[in-house]
A = this chain, B = another copy of it.
Amino acid sequence: MEETRDQKRYERGLAKLSEVDGKWGQQVIEALRDIAPDMARYIIEFSFGDIYCRPGLDLKSREIATVAALTALGNAAPQLKVHIHAALNVGCTRTEVVETIMHMAVFAGFPAALNGLYAAKDVFKERDSDRDSGK
């Protein structure tokens, strides 16, 4: 009876965050704990519980859209890395990530695309290293 729609929204969001962002999402939530815990809640409830759970666009496409936008904006490097991880987590290939970023050269210029590629390079290296160390 107390299981309100709002509570379900939080739980649905937390599950989606975990599915999409993995441990990197968890790090964001923890980084906010002592400065703005409600911000963590909004990310879970609104970004993941509302938006990411919507039907009509699959998760792979959502992450391609996210990587494209963050590459083009060029002013949110940590979030771009989290979402390159996310894109790979939900089934994009490395090639699809690289192509999405290169595609941005046309729409946001080469510097934005280059910095996106450097971010991808770091993420790929991090994942290889995690895998090699059995994480």
Footprint of B on A, CB under 8 Å?
1, 4-7, 9, 28, 31-32, 34-36, 38-39, 42-43, 46-47, 50-51, 54, 56-57, 60-62, 64-76, 78-79, 93, 95-96, 98-115, 117-118, 120-121, 124
Q: How far is the CA of A9 from the CA of B10 in the complex (A)?
A: 14
Complex partner residue of A106 from B7, B51, B75, B121, CB under 8 angstroms: B51
- Report whether A120 and B65 are in contact in the complex, using a CB–CB cutoff of 8 Å: no
The distance from the CB of A115 to the nearest CB of chain B, in whole angstroms, is 6
Besides A66-B107, A73-B108, A107-B111, 9 other A-B contacts (C-beta < 8 A) = A31-B118, A36-B102, A62-B99, A65-B67, A65-B104, A70-B107, A75-B75, A76-B115, A109-B112
Minimal Cβ-Cβ distance residue in B for A57: B99
Q: How many copies does the complex hold?
A: 6
Knowing A51-B102, A65-B103, A103-B66, the reply to whether A79 touches B114 (Cβ < 8 A) is: yes
- Which secondary structure dominates chain A's binding surface? helix
6 inter-chain pairs at a CB distance below 8 angstroms, sorted by A residue, are: A47-B106, A51-B103, A51-B105, A57-B100, A64-B64, A65-B103
Knowing A73-B73, A78-B115, A102-B36, the reply to whether A4 touches B4 (Cβ < 8 A) is: yes
Knowing A5-B6, A35-B121, the reply to whether A75 touches B78 (Cβ < 8 A) is: no
